[in-house]
A = this chain, B = another copy of it.
Amino acid sequence: MADERIWTAALLVIGDEILSGRTQDKNIAQVADWLNRQGIRLEEVRVVPDNEARIAGAVNELRSTYDYLLTTGGIGPTHDDITVDSIAAAFGVPVIVHPEARWILEDYYATRGGVTDARLRMARVPDGAELIPNPLSGAPGVKMHNVYILAGVPSIAANMLAALDGKLEGGRPVVSVTVGAYAAESEVADLLRETEAAHSGVAIGSYPFSKDGRYGANFVMRSDDGDLAERTALDLQRRLQDAGFEPFPGGI
């Protein structure tokens, strides 16, 4: 298990609307969750503005550091949608109109006013790219080597992820098991540290909450060995009970 190949990914979120605070990002959490189900670890996220040099720079750094790079945002028909151009620049290739993407758009817009120049922008891809199906709104996502270019609208990104389900090579998903207790983090810090030390191969995260005026925390065991995560959770639960802490439902 220890020498099993670990697959890694980064996510690049592209858009002034995230950095200005106008839009609350929802893609980080859904991409993280999806990647974990594929057995791929999300190791880094970056958010950059709608700027070709900034996008291309981040793409080149991240695609060479991790097995996969996913991007969200900037693939619509308007002037501020510069993701495809920026990624083509990163790869040093021209932008072309993908024949299949053109057919998809012509079909989709046949009953919706026809394909215009603006709409045809959504058929542009870096030369050498493949398409990612998008049953929701016609315009496909784009796969360029190990870079997966997804829409910024979360529901459309979700559809593109669904189309990619099981298509990326991955390893074992990380299993998370949660134990909750009405315990202030500072009261259980030693107990947590000891529990983690007693179970090699599992990481325990501690996340405080305040509910109805009472303090508590959720403790999350993470491991790619599900049995180990379960055993550690049971051990922690027992230690918390022995120390007199009331369980918080929502744990195991």
Residues of A participating in the B interface, judged by any CB pair closer than 8 Å: 13, 15-26, 28-36, 41-50, 54, 76-81, 113, 116-119, 121-122, 153, 174, 176, 185-190, 192-193, 196, 203-208, 220, 222
Partner of A207, one of B23, B28, B36: B23
Closest to A41 in B: B19
Q: In whole Å, how far is A10's beta carbon from the nearest beta carbon of chain B?
A: 10
Which B residues lie within 8 Å of A119 (CB)? 186
Which B residues lie within 8 Å of A204 (CB)? 79-80
**Contact at B43–A189, with CB atoms within 8 Å?**
no
Secondary structure type dominating chain A contacts: mixed
Q: A21-B30, A176-B20 are in contact. Are A76 and B206 (CB under 8 A)?
A: yes
**Contact at A20–B186, with CB atoms within 8 Å?**
no
**Contact at B77–A186, with CB atoms within 8 Å?**
yes
Which B residues lie within 8 Å of A80 (CB)? 203-206
Q: In whole Å, how far is A236's beta carbon from the nearest beta carbon of chain B?
A: 13
**Contact at B32–A19, with CB atoms within 8 Å?**
yes
**Contact at B26–A24, with CB atoms within 8 Å?**
yes
Q: A116-B186, A121-B189 are in contact. Are A20 and B36 (CB under 8 A)?
A: yes
Which B residues lie within 8 Å of A32 (CB)? 18-21
Q: A17-B207, A189-B78, A207-B17 are in contact. Are A25 and B25 (CB under 8 A)?
A: yes
A-B CB contact pairs (8 Å), 16 listed: A13-B45, A15-B205, A18-B28, A19-B32, A19-B43, A20-B32, A21-B28, A21-B33, A21-B34, A28-B47, A45-B47, A46-B47, A76-B208, A78-B193, A116-B187, A117-B190
